[in-house]
């Protein structure tokens, strides 16, 4: 027994004009959303693989300390740490350079050090400078990687400092 009324229509079939307008507004909202640079960046960040680990490079102690060799030539002792935060257990190659005031290298030392995943390793490097050399900056970098740090000498005294 029915009262002669037709059964209610599902919402998507009620008014074809309304659903087209709603769809159009939805497409417009998404298009505007994607055109905002911050939103584009977040979408790209969300849908592409991101590296999960990183490496740290930092000075310890006095960073770069002028010393003298037994032969009387100037030296610079450099102390730094390489920390591996989820980059795998690959060896790190580091380069330590002393630069003069013009940016030209006066001494350099390169080495390779294995650093296990989740570990940190302290490194001490002694740079032997030419007898009359003066250093203004010590730069430490990881070869083939973006990490680098530098230390500027507080003055320009004998021995490069």
Compute the distance between CA of residue 126 and CA of residue 145 in angstroms, rounded to an integer: 22
Q: Is the Cα dihedral 16, 18, 19, 20 positive or negative? A: positive
Strand blocks (E) in the chain: 54-68, 74-85, 91-99, 105-114, 120-128, 137-142, 148-152
Average pLDDT over residues 114-133: 90
pLDDT at residue 21, rounded to an integer:
80
Closest CA to 82 of 51, 114, 109, 52: 114
Q: Collect all residues with Cβ–Cβ distance below 8 Å to 116 and sequence separation of at least 6.
A: 84, 89
Compute the distance between CA of residue 113 and CA of residue 79 in angstroms, rounded to an integer: 14
| Token representation of residue 12 | 């998507």
Q: Does residue 18 carry a pLDDT above 80?
A: no
Average pLDDT over residues 126-136: 87
Percentage, residues of the chain above pLDDT 70: 69
Q: Does residue 144 carry a pLDDT above 50?
A: yes
| pLDDT band, residue 140 (cuts 50/70/90) | very high
Q: Does residue 51 carry a pLDDT above 70?
A: no
Other beta carbons within 10 angstroms of residue 135's beta carbon come to 26
Q: What average pLDDT does the structure give for the chain?
A: 80
Compute the distance between CA of residue 130 and CA of residue 132 in angstroms, rounded to an integer: 6
pLDDT at residue 159, rounded to an integer:
45
Q: Does residue 45 carry a pLDDT above 60?
A: yes
End-to-end CA distance of the chain: 103
More confident residue, 125 or 12: 125
pLDDT digits (tens, 9 = 90+) for 55-97: 899 998 766 676 766 667 788 889 999 999 886 778 999 999 9
pLDDT at residue 90, rounded to an integer:
80
């Amino acid at each position: 027994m029915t009262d002669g009324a037709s059964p209610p229509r599902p919402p998507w079939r009620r008014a074809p004009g309304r659903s087209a307008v709603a769809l159009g507004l939805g497409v417009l909202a998404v298009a505007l959303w994607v055109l905002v640079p911050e939103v584009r960046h977040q979408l790209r960040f969300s849908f592409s693989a991101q590296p999960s680990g990183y490496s740290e490079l930092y000075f310890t102690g006095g960073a770069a300390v002028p010393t003298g060799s037994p032969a009387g030539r100037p030296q610079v002792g450099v102390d730094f740490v390489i920390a591996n935060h989820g980059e795998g257990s690959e060896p790190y190659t580091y380069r330590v350079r002393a630069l003069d005031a013009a940016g030209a290298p006066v001494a350099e030392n390169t080495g390779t050090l294995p650093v296990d995943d989740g570990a940190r390793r302290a490194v001490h490097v002694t740079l032997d400078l030419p007898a009359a050399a003066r250093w203004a900056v010590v730069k430490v970098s990881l070869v083939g990687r973006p990490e680098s740090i530098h230390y500027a000498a507080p003055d320009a005294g004998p021995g490069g400092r």
